[in-house]
Amino acid sequence: MKAKNLVLGALLTALALVIPIYFGGYLRIYIPPFSATLASHVPVMLAFLVNPLVAVMVGLGSTIGFLVMLGPVIAARAFIHVIFGYVGAKLINKGYTFEKALLLTAPLHAFGESLVVLPFGFTLYTALVLVGIGTLLHHFADSIISVILARTVLSGIMNKIKN
C-alpha cells in the first residue's frame, strides 16, 4: 500500500474512532431500541475513495469505537461498515461515481444492520423497520455530508498530495 493511502486510512480510522467516543453524546439520535450517531459513516464512506483495504481498516476502527462506547450490539451493527465499505470502494475501482457507490451500498448497509441485530433478541419488525429504515435514513444523511466533504476538503487534500 502506498504511504499516502496508509496515512489517509490512518486519519480516517482515527476519525472513525473519535466520532463515537468523543462526539457520540452530542451527535447521537436515540429512538429505542434504535440509535444513530450522525456522521459516523462519513469516514468509511470517504475511504471508498482511497481503496478497499483502507475502507476495511476504517470500518474496523468504527467497530472498535462503537464497541468501546456502546457495547456489542452496536459494535455488531458497526461491523457492517467493513462490508459496505469494501463493496463501495470496489464500486469506485470499477468506475462508479462516489454518489452512485453511496446509493448502491445503502440497501446492503441497511439490510446488513437489520440482520446482525436478530441474534441479540430484536424482533423481525424491530430489526427491519426500526434498524433497517433508520440505518437507510442515516446512510443517506451521512452520504450528503460525505459528498460535500469529498467535493471540498478531500479534493483539496488529494490535489496537494498529487503535487
Instruction: Tell me the C-alpha distance between 91 and 105, whole Å.
Output: 9
Handedness of CA 154, 54, 86, 69 (dihedral sign): negative
Count of structural domains, the chain = 1
On the question of pLDDT at 110 being above 60, the answer is: yes
Q: Is the pLDDT assigned to residue 89 strictly greater than 80?
A: yes
Higher pLDDT residue, 154 or 104? 104
CATH of the domain at 83: 1.10.1760.20
Q: Is the pLDDT of residue 24 over 90?
A: no
Query: pLDDT tens for residues 112-152?
Result: 999 999 999 999 999 999 999 999 999 999 999 999 999 98
Please provide the size of the chain in residues. 163
How much is the pTM? 0.93
Q: Which three cell numbers stand for residue 15?
A: 476519525
Give the integer Cα–Cα distance in Å for 97 and 92.
6
Distance in angstroms (rounded) separating the CA atoms of residues 139 and 48: 14
Q: How far apart are CA 155 and CA 68, in angstroms?
A: 32
Q: What is the SS3 assignment for 30?
A: strand
pLDDT number for residue 163:
52
Round to whole Å and give the CA distance between 51 and 73. Answer: 27
Q: Supply the range of the domain harboring residue 156.
A: 3-162
Q: What percent of the chain has pLDDT over 90?
A: 81
- The pLDDT value recorded for residue 34 is 85
12-35 mean pLDDT: 89
